[in-house]
Structure 1
């Protein structure tokens, strides 16, 4: 892991720095016509200064550097085609040399990514069941808030009011509501607001891999402070445990698999009444086939962010990383819904998916 997160990024930065040296030098040549060795040294230093902060792959600056590199490479390819056909448009040549198009594309991407992160959509699904339930159930599902990254208290209050207007019977919080960057005060605010969502049968919560800030040596809050804040706002934490609703629906909340050993699903579900509608709440969309074979009716998950930055979601789907990236899937016995989350992690940008909260109607056939 040390090699992947420390050494590999530095190795990748070397060819990037070389590329941006020539990119910056080309701009200087366009402006000054001729440059001497001191200009070249300055270009090299600028390239290193520009690229070096991106050696942390999860930083905002890495997004800037990698996207500018991608846009510049695309422009290089267009220029090669341009030259191949012996075109001599001097305006196009100047535009290419000065690098204005990749830089403009970068700013457009950053603007769109910020807007797309902040623009939260309501996504609605309907799940039919043959189980004997005496009423239809409406579930509000919210995950991956990473509170403090892109949303403040007043914005969260607005979305919680919107969710309340949907008149949910049950509210599900699918983990990563807070993370390593959330302050103690922000953590308390998040659960204070979420606990105010109007509902009929309760608010239920499972931890994600970020909630307890275990990736930091000195987090802003402890796991016990987090637990206390959740529970004092009448939110029930499910850790490989279950709760029955109206003696006809069983909600099973899983401990996130990143948090260590967790109970085997088969053991967990052994004493569940299979006449009930069985809903599995698991932060990560895992064990899908197994849960399907165990006749779980519905699994709700988040974690993936739908591939927050393009082309991450596309790559993971094509290469088969993870069991499901986003959306709705009807299996032989189970329906799976994976949310892209109401916000995102690390930086306030989304280009590979949208922000959302999910409303699920469980309807008797």
Structure 2
């Protein structure tokens, strides 16, 4: 994972000079050398927080402002790249047309407009990222359940450098307002390092989740990055989570629940079929982090397949990438007799900015 941060920070430093040259054409205050130095320091800050932050003896709450600043840079960089590509095309068109006074004026207007638009996207995306919604889904399993079962699905909370204890408090309050029978966590409880959770104990507020039949969780790809899986399992077990790693459990509400290990760790997982419930009177549910096995789950007889991982692209137009990668990168869809649900997640990775998706929990009513 460190190589990822090294690479993109290096790319960020190299491209910073290019979009600085573009933006300074529109606004004179950007011409100062200290502005360029500030821009150049941001990708280095992003790298430092993510690579060396966990090893520093600094309280997470003190490090968090720097994590946010580096994260905002990542979103600013992302959209500045698109603006820069269009600027280069505009300059090429102007070059072919002779670069007259009208074209010079057009370059300046574009630079001003691009900077304002990117900053507006950043501000909106930052606000959107911390205003979650509740998405509701109903599904008739055809299993004659004695009464409807309300499930709250929460995926990708990514506790770490960006979001910590207060974030978990707010999430717990939101879950408790739903009066859930069962609460499911769909992986990526941890962002990149377990150290932040151990120092801040950001997992502790989750012990206050109110439910009837239990809180269950699985592992995601980010949960494996730190390499301390057993420690993570023990932490969440201590706050009342039943962590399912290729395991199944039968709930009193006539539900057979299966939780699988992350696809990256077990791309060919025999437990999908092996653990499928055989009782025709129980709803057969499968919880997996990455939404990759809808048809396999339908064939195995599951009534409901739940996943997360994609973040809905997190920042458009990356949602077009996730749409090409997964059969269902976000939303709800029937696959034969099975309902498939992919959540865009409650938390974030890398950048506290969401464009084109809104953080959510999913309330599923089974009948």
Gaps of 5+ in 2: 51-69
Q: What residue in structure 1 maps to residue 202 of structure 2?
A: 189
Q: What residue in structure 2 maps to residue 219 of structure 1?
A: none
Structure 1's 350 and 149: CA in aligned 2 closer, same or farther, altered over 3 A?
farther
Structure 1's 117 and 329: CA in aligned 2 closer, same or farther, altered over 3 A?
same
Distance 1:322 1:94 in 2: 39
Deviation per residue, 1:158-194 (Å, 9 max, x gap): 332232121110000111111224513367332x222
The within-5 A match list for 1:279-358 is 279-317=285-323, 320-358=324-362
Q: CA deviation at 1:352?
A: 2.9
Distance 1:110 1:269 in 2: 45
- 1:107 has 2:106 as partner: no
Structure 1 contact 256–283 (Cα < 8 Å) conserved: yes
- 1:259 has 2:258 as partner: no
Structure 1 contact 293–333 (Cα < 8 Å) conserved: no
Distance 1:346 1:26 in 2: 29
Look up the SS of the partner of 1:257 in the other structure. coil
Q: What residue in structure 2 maps to residue 240 of structure 1?
A: 246
The within-5 A match list for 1:41-52 is 49=40
Distance 2:264 2:313 in 1: 19
Correspondence for 2:364 among 342, 356, 360: 360
Structure 1's 25 and 285: CA in aligned 2 closer, same or farther, altered over 3 A?
closer
Q: CA deviation at 1:79?
A: 7.7
Structure 1 contact 54–65 (Cα < 8 Å) conserved: no
Q: CA deviation at 1:348?
A: 1.0
Structure number with larger C-alpha Rg? 1
Look up the SS of the partner of 2:292 in the other structure. coil
Question: Cα RMSD between the aligned structures?
Answer: 3.9
TM-score (norm 2): 0.78
Structure 1's 167 and 271: CA in aligned 2 closer, same or farther, altered over 3 A?
closer
Q: What residue in structure 1 maps to residue 214 of structure 2?
A: 202
Deviation per residue, 1:26-82 (Å, 9 max, x gap): 569x89xxxxxxx9xx89x979947975997x9734432332232244456678889
Look up the SS of the partner of 1:258 in the other structure. coil
Distance 1:326 1:267 in 2: 24
Structure 1's 194 and 11: CA in aligned 2 closer, same or farther, altered over 3 A?
closer
Q: CA deviation at 1:95?
A: 3.9
Q: What residue in structure 2 maps to residue 35 of structure 1?
A: none
Gaps of 5+ in 1: 32-38, 216-221
Structure 1's 197 and 294: CA in aligned 2 closer, same or farther, altered over 3 A?
same
Q: CA deviation at 1:153?
A: 2.5
Distance 2:333 2:178 in 1: 23
The within-5 A match list for 1:1-150 is 16=15, 19-20=18-19, 23=22, 26=25, 49=40, 53=44, 60=71, 61-74=73-86, 93=106, 95-96=108-109, 99-150=111-162
Pairs aligned (count):
341
Distance 1:206 1:74 in 2: 43
Q: CA deviation at 1:2?
A: 10
Q: CA deviation at 1:332?
A: 0.8
